[in-house]
Amino acid sequence: MLLDRGVSGIIYISGLHADTAQSPQRYVDQRERGLPVVFINGFCEGVDAPFISTDDRLAAMQAVSHLVSLGHRRIGLAVGPDRFVPVKRKVAGFRQALESTLGIDDTDELIEHSFFSVEGGAAAATALMSRGVTGIVAGSDMMALGAIRAARSAGLSVPEDVSVIGYDDSLLIAYTDPPLTSVRQGVAAMSEVAVQALLAEIGGAPGPRTEFLFDPELVVRRSTGPAPGA
């Protein structure tokens, strides 16, 4: 549709370039036609374009480190389908953090894949809580809200019984009950760089063909607290 409208370039955000099960050929074809493109949150090997992403590996490590500092020793990860690049990176960071902080190298039962929705978060959290986790790192704020719902449905309190961390730090998250601890993406900075990169491409001065990683920021609120008995 955008090509039919004669656009000079396209910024893709969390599109099929983030899905490892999809072929990147459509993007290759666009570049071969000379269309300037920039990608946000995802990476396709072999596509001649700038990529801009949040460092998802670091985001997961920040979340785990925060829970460990609060005394949690049984921590679970609730994320979306494992074919997506950001999910793969969060899983890698989660595994690395558990091994480096707690010496846990068998993390399979602590990772639950679901959908990026409230319902998906609730389902994943229910499975993780049945395995005894006291801290949950969610792959999105919506999943985190689902985890809180699941905890309350099980008769548990957040954060007294279960701590929950979201991802994105969406605009209304500070006003949830309880206010959600979340890993914030640098949306403004990433957007500015994406637009600058696209304008450079359109102007005939292409930027580096690499991935620019932006550091996330852990924003601590009241959905996380000391582990039970800590």
pLDDT above 90: residue 208: no
The tens digit of pLDDT for each residue in 81-94 reads: 999 999 999 999 99
Count the neighbouring beta carbons within 10 Å of the beta carbon of residue 205: 8
The tens digit of pLDDT for each residue in 140-151 reads: 999 999 999 999
What are the residue ranges spanned by the domains of the chain? Answer: 10-54+185-217, 56-184
The tens digit of pLDDT for each residue in 20-35 reads: 999 999 999 999 999 9
pLDDT band at 38 (very low <50, low <70, confident <90, very high): very high
Q: What are phi and psi of 48, to 5 degrees?
A: -80, 80
Q: Taking the model in full, what pTM does it have?
A: 0.95
Q: Which two tokens stand for residue 229?
A: 């008995």
pLDDT band at 3 (very low <50, low <70, confident <90, very high): confident
Of 163, 95, 103, 99, the C-alpha closest to 129 is 163
pLDDT at 156: 98
Query: Between 3.40.50.2300, 3.30.565.10, 3.40.720.10, 3.40.640.10, what CATH number should domain 56-184 receive?
Result: 3.40.50.2300
pLDDT above 90: residue 210: no
Written as one letter, the residue type at 184 is R
Q: Helix, strand or coil for residue 61?
A: helix
